[in-house]
Structure 1
Amino acid sequence: MPELPEVETVRRGLQPAMEGSKILKAEARRKDLRFPFQKDFIARLEGQTVTGLGRRAKYLMADLGSGDVLLMHLGMSGSFRVLDGVNDSAPGQFHHPRSEDRAHDHVVFHMSSGAAIVFNDPRRFGYMKIIARNALEDEPLLKDLGPEPLGNEFDAAMLAASCANKKTSLKAALLDQRVVAGLGNIYVCEALYRSHLSPRRLAATLATKAGQRKGVAGGEPTDHAVRLVNAIHSVLNQAIKAGGSSISDHRLTSGELGYFQHSFQVYDREGEKCQTKNCGGIVRRFVQNGRSTFWCPKCQK
């Protein structure tokens, strides 16, 4: 599933074609994706100007002039193409291939900018929903999301407080969207490796023991928490920068391996030598909570 850097890269690629432009015509070529489209889905889109295009966790959010917000999720296999007749492109390069089969073009937005925005999704795990802006705080898809990992409020103290009494592994805690929003399997593996923390480590060890006792709020962040937050910031910013560079020089394709994969230090590198200086360990893979985990047992403790 596309993670925060991929979704942010897609947002930046769609922004010039959508923001400030009116949706002249909208097409839903089937009745549903992961969920059925709302009955008034088309009517609430056509004629509306996209006043802003933002992101929350792994969601794209298009603000409409009507006061509604179009919420979009890429699911497992979703991608967008921008067709303007000159520089057709597919914003965002992904570690897992994107589809080029036009039979899976399910939603099309025809913009006053002259561009057509096409959503392609073979597995139909993506979804779109229109929500009134004043109802966003109560929206079930959004209300339980944790802080943005690149937001100003997300720091070692916040992460430690969220994990202080958890009985789960550190990796499971980081994949919990209520703890921190937008992280997925790839970037959690990378951040844990860069911070030299084991994915099997208890999440509660990010906080001092005083903060782990029942009834004690928060808890001071340990050095583990500080290292991990720094690693999360580093890996996400590096991944976003890689995607941004691809967009700026128009080297995007749909379905090629690429994007951040050449910078992976541990993910999908089973059997390779650990890249940590003087470590000498070998990257291993094991299944954790149904997901592949890549790590170096020698330097990740």
Structure 2
Amino acid sequence: MPNMAHTKRDAVMHSIKNFSPVWFAVIMGTGAVSMLLHNFPYGSQPILRGFGIAALILNEHSMKALTAVWLLPAVTPIVPATTGALLARAILPFSASHTVITLFVSTVLLFLGLGITFMILPLYMLRLVTKGLPPNTMIISMFLPVGPCGQGGLAFVKIGEAFAELARRGASQNLLLTESQPWVLTGVCGGFFLWTFGVWWILLTILGIYETFKSQRPKFAVGFWGMVFPLGVYTSLTWQLSETFGSVFFRVLSAILSIVVFLLWATLAVITIHQICRDHESLFNSPYLPASPCPEQETASSILCESNQAVSGEQKC
């Protein structure tokens, strides 16, 4: 019994030690699904009522080693840009000056994130053309370029709406804020451009995953969760365009994509829980740490060492 308790404690410590940032994709994907469930356009149907940057400077990189994971820092400023647009509309009745400052910072963050994105994507496209598809363990990362497209497009639309509301209220004397329609048009055009750009990456990724799974199916890893957040924010952009255009096409498409993303999230959640219960070391295995023996092997080695000490009388194994 003491050995069993020791083994369980070592297993927990091994999981904590190898708990890598890739698990953040689980949180991001779940958050994206929650937005889709909240904004689902057909949620009132009776049938549905029962469902409740240092590495880039210090390290040397080869073209073959370049992956879409480089885009993760680009998404970081785009997400608060969307939040800033929502915050600006909330504080507009209380302070026009603070609203302008918030929208200015949000716009800077949006253009910063999109600028980094459009610097990295040509390099990644060159890598795909010259070196072929990523390894089967990294093929899911091809979905990551969809994230900046979806989140950036949503930020464009929200910032445009916030500037338009600021202009309608006449809260600022700036000549750029005398009319509201140009701001709405600018936001919608920017969002629609990124939406169409995301279509290209989704089709390219589906073809790449199909070719990879056809030849050699990769083993499940936490990186599979990288599909949920990009598709989730892209679906949110599709729903936002349906509201802006009043388009039945975008409305139905957003409903279909919402169902697909929710099923994808549910499938990954079930597989992840099953893998944790069955073989947690296959998931809690950070590539940034040196390989270490599993707790069972360490326990067996310590028992063998104690036996040798008792027989030979030596102090060291």
Note whether the superposition's TM-score is higher than 0.5. no
Larger Rg: 2
TM bracket, shorter-chain basis:
under 0.3
State the TM-score, normalizing by the size of structure 2.
0.24
State the TM-score, normalizing by the size of structure 1.
0.25
